[in-house]
Amino acid sequence: MRAAYYTQQGPAPEVFIIGEQPTPQPGPGEVRVRLRWSGVNPSDWKTRKGGGGRKLMAPLIIPHSDGAGVIDAIGDGVAATRIGERVWIWNGQWKRPFGTAAQWIALPSAQAVKLPDGVDEEAGACLGIPAFTAMHAVRLAALRPGTTVLVAGGAGSVGHYAIQMAKARGATVIASASSPAKAQHALAAGADHVFDYRATDFASEVQAATRGAGVDAIIEVNLTANAALYPGILKAHGRVVIYGITGAEATLPALWLMQNSIALKFFMIYDIPLADREAALAEMDSLLRTQRLRHTVALRLPLAQIAEAHDMVERGEVMGHVLLDIGGSSQQSGS
Is there a contact between 161 and 185 (Cβ–Cβ < 8 Å)? Answer: no
pTM surpassing 0.75?
Answer: yes
pLDDT of residue 330: 36
In whole angstroms, give the CA distance from residue 64 to residue 297: 16
The tens digit of pLDDT for each residue in 260-316 reads 999 999 999 999 999 999 999 999 999 999 999 999 999 999 999 999 999 999 998
pLDDT of residue 324: 98
pLDDT of residue 171: 98
The tens digit of pLDDT for each residue in 7-51 reads 999 999 999 999 999 999 999 999 999 999 999 999 999 999 998
pLDDT band at 52 (very low <50, low <70, confident <90, very high): confident
In whole angstroms, give the CA distance from residue 133 to residue 43: 13
Interstrand relation of 66-74 and 30-40 (parallel, antiparallel or unpaired) = antiparallel
The tens digit of pLDDT for each residue in 243-253 reads 999 988 999 99
Portions of the chain given CATH number 3.90.180.10? 2-126+295-325, 130-266
Smallest CA-to-CA distance from 240 within 213, 261, 260, 220 is with 220
Per-residue pLDDT averaged across 229-258, rounded? 96
pLDDT band at 54 (very low <50, low <70, confident <90, very high): confident
pLDDT of residue 317: 82
Is there a contact between 6 and 307 (Cβ–Cβ < 8 Å)? Answer: no
Smallest CA-to-CA distance from 148 within 226, 227, 224, 207 is with 207
State yes or no: pLDDT of 188 exceeds 50: yes
pLDDT of residue 53: 78
The tens digit of pLDDT for each residue in 142-182 reads 999 999 999 999 999 999 999 999 999 999 999 999 999 99
The tens digit of pLDDT for each residue in 62-103 reads 999 999 999 999 999 999 999 999 999 999 999 999 999 999
Mean pLDDT computed over every residue of the chain: 95
pLDDT of residue 331: 38
Q: Is 130-266 a domain of CATH 3.90.180.10?
A: yes
Share of the chain above pLDDT 90, in %: 93
pLDDT of residue 335: 44
For 2-126+295-325, which CATH superfamily applies? Medium-chain alcohol dehydrogenases, catalytic domain (3.90.180.10)
Q: What is the DSSP string of 258-295?
A: HHTT-EEEE--TTS--HHHHHHHHHHHHHHHHTT----
In whole angstroms, give the CA distance from residue 36 to residue 105: 11
